[in-house]
Amino acid sequence: MKMNELMGNPTSVQISNIVEETPRSKTLQFSLENLAQFQSGQFVMVWIPGIDEIPMSISSWNPPEMGITVQSIGEATQALVSMSKGDWIGIRGPFGNPFSTNSKKALVVGGGVGVAPLRPLIYTLLDGGSEVTFVNAAKTKNGLIYREEFERFRHPKFKVEIATDDGSLGFKGFATDVVSNLLDENEFDRMYTCGPEVMMAGLYDIAKKGKIRFQASLERFMKCGCGICGTCAMDPTGQLVCADGPVFTGEQLAKLTNFGKYHRDAVGMKEMC
């Protein structure tokens, strides 16, 4: 493999449209002509000139238009949400292993901006004939990503449940509480999730108890995105979130000691989830 291909064919793109999703998050859209294909769950490395390069989930893909949904958390994400139509950013990728879409009745659970990689997954599952129940969860109603889009969306095999920690919209409580209630009355053959890792760890325990196949999209600090630097290695297996993930199965997660407990910063120091 050529180095350019390994590094994800770096290119500069111009932001063509910006959609405000919540008071703290926006979707940036741009054209990526040289991307042959994309699978739900993959990510790109995004370079913000003069700031940093960070991994971002792909939240929409309508060739050649791509979108990434950004929530202001740190310096790099704040710079991204502050950008305007016509600004330039660097893109390379896509990287990582995608979600498996082998499901007939899927439960998709997103927390906060973790809904971003689940958005294309939902549409892919529905296009393949799957039944999909989607749990959109956040601390408050102002943190619900794509709320209006999925409220308007009508499909005979699609249901959406809303959960907020403070009860400002939908079910008052955590995503795990909603999922437990759903499993009392429904059977699902696979559960997909992305969001806060503590939430995903709780969902994993529920899925394991119910013997439901499970997939979670993980986030870790990355420098390269393509398996070179090793900064996103998981304990104790050494699996790389960029190359072996970001989507991990329940069987893979069972072997990890840091899932739902801690991650590592830029210099490898542990930080609790």
221-267 pLDDT, tens digit per residue, is: 999 998 998 899 999 999 999 999 999 999 999 999 999 888 888 87
- How do residues 74-91 score in pLDDT, each as one tens digit? 999 999 999 999 999 999
pLDDT for residue 36: 64
The whole-model pTM stands at 0.95
Confidence of residue 5 (pLDDT cuts 50, 70, 90): confident
Task: Give 44-63 pLDDT, tens digit per residue.
Answer: 999 999 999 999 999 999 88
Whether residue 1 has pLDDT greater than 70: no
**Average pLDDT of the chain?**
94
CB 155 within 8 A of CB 182: no
% the chain with pLDDT above 90: 85
Going along the chain from its start, the domains and CATH numbers come out as 3-95 (2.40.30.10), 105-272 (3.40.50.80)
3-state SS, the chain, equals CCHHHHCCCCEEEEEEEEEEEECCEEEEEEECCCCCCCCCCCEEEEEECCCEEEEEEEEEEECCEEEEEEECCCHHHHHHHCCCCCCEEEEEEEECECCCCCCCEEEEEEEHHHHCCHHHHHHHHHHCCCEEEEEEEECCHHHCCCHHHHHHCCCCCEEEEEEECCCCCCEECCHHHHHHHHHHHCCCCEEEEECCHHHHHHHHHHHHHHCCEEEEECCCCCCCCCCCCCCCECCCCCCECCCCCEEEEHHHHCCCCCCCCEEECCCCCEEEC
Q: How far apart are CA 153 and CA 102, in angstroms?
A: 23
Give the total residue count for the chain.
273
Query: Does residue 10 carry a pLDDT above 70?
Result: yes
At residue 135, the pLDDT reads 98
